Amino acid sequence: MPQNGNLPFTYEILQGENIALSAYDNHIIRRLSSMKNQFLDLAAYDTILSKQDSLLYEVYEIRLPEEAGVLLQGISFIHPGKVGDEYFMTKGHFHAVIETAEVYYCLRGTGYMVMETPEGEWAVKALSPHKVLYVPPRWAHRSVNTGAQEDLVIFFAYPGNAGHDYGSIEKQGFRKLIVERAGVPAIIDNPRWLPPDRRNNEAA
Ligand code: F6R
Ligand code: ZN
């Protein structure tokens, strides 16, 4: 039964072959078709999509009131795969209330969290089991699975009033991309990314 956020509760993150929450309210599924213009290789994107609308990632959430003071929680599974040389990833977002932070805990797999501020400062942090990542207020965040076969599984908690702002990321993408080079992950510049002071002039 959904919680109202005002009473203590517990649940388990089941750690068998398939990691799972012992209870959840929401299951979000994101497929390739919802990531138009996000992967660098547009031709590879179209080719894969013409064959199948691949499942990129899934999120299981515990529903709580979307209010300041509450912490929303859940787990994300980013599946393995690539579009061209670029690894499967989440859409990524700023929080609509931009001053809200988020904590991630990596349960399984390998990958990166790609982050940036509205001013264009960027950071990329590696994720592996047992690593905790703090995403500060104002930093957009996207998780990327660089594993060949395994899901990247991450637990998250963030303020109930944070909301999601996908708009600016959908237009620009992130400043840095995670691609495979000579068989290993590499961080490269996104050629479509423009610094904030050039966006309005050249995006039109
Ligand atoms: C919530 C958060 C995560 C992501 C999830 C999917 O603020 O950062 O729960 O929502 O990993 O990523 P997006 O929302 O970018 O599709
Ligand atoms: Zn977030």
Dihedral, 71, 151, 111, 163 alpha carbons, nearest 10: -30
pLDDT-derived band at 18, boundaries 50, 70, 90: very high
| Domain locations along the chain | 13-203
* Alpha carbons 171 and 38: distance in angstroms, whole number: 9
Query: What's the CA-to-centroid distance between 84 and ligand 2, angstroms?
Result: 26
* Alpha carbons 77 and 62: distance in angstroms, whole number: 15
Query: What's the CA-to-centroid distance between 161 and ligand 1, angstroms?
Result: 14
**Whether residue 139 has pLDDT greater than 70:** yes
pLDDT tens for each residue of 22-40? 999 999 999 999 999 999 9
For ligand 1, atom 15, name the residue with the nearest CA.
92
- Best residue for ligand 1 mutational test, from 31, 59, 95 (most atoms within 8 Å of Cβ): 59
If you ran DSSP here, which 8-state letter would residue 151 be given? P
pLDDT-derived band at 4, boundaries 50, 70, 90: confident
Task: Please state whether beta strands 86-87 and 140-145 pair in parallel, antiparallel, or not at all (unpaired).
Answer: unpaired
pLDDT recorded at residue 2: 73
**Whether residue 66 has pLDDT greater than 90:** yes
What mean pLDDT do residues 66-91 have?
98
What mean pLDDT do residues 1-21 have?
91
Ligand 1, atom nearest to 91 Cα: 15
- Kindly report the three-state secondary structure assignment for every residue of 56-123: EEEEEEECCCCCCCCEEEEEEEECCCEECCEECECCCEECCCCCCCEEEEEEECCEEEEEECCCCCEE
Ligand 1, atom nearest to 78 Cα: 11
Q: How many CB atoms are located within 10 Å of the residue 185 CB?
A: 18
Query: What's the CA-to-centroid distance between 180 and ligand 1, angstroms?
Result: 23
pLDDT recorded at residue 202: 60
Q: Which of 29-38, 150-159, 168-177, 195-204 has the lowest mean pLDDT?
A: 195-204
For residue 93, which of 165, 32, 34 has the smallest C-alpha distance? 165
The second-level CATH assignment, the architecture, of 13-203 is Sandwich (2.60)
Residues with CB under 6 A from ligand 1: 30, 59, 74, 76, 90-93, 102, 141, 143, 156, 158, 162, 164
* Alpha carbons 82 and 80: distance in angstroms, whole number: 7
Query: What's the CA-to-centroid distance between 189 and ligand 2, angstroms?
Result: 22
pLDDT recorded at residue 6: 86
Ligand 1, atom nearest to 30 Cα: 16
Closest-lying ligand to the alpha carbon of 143?
A: 1
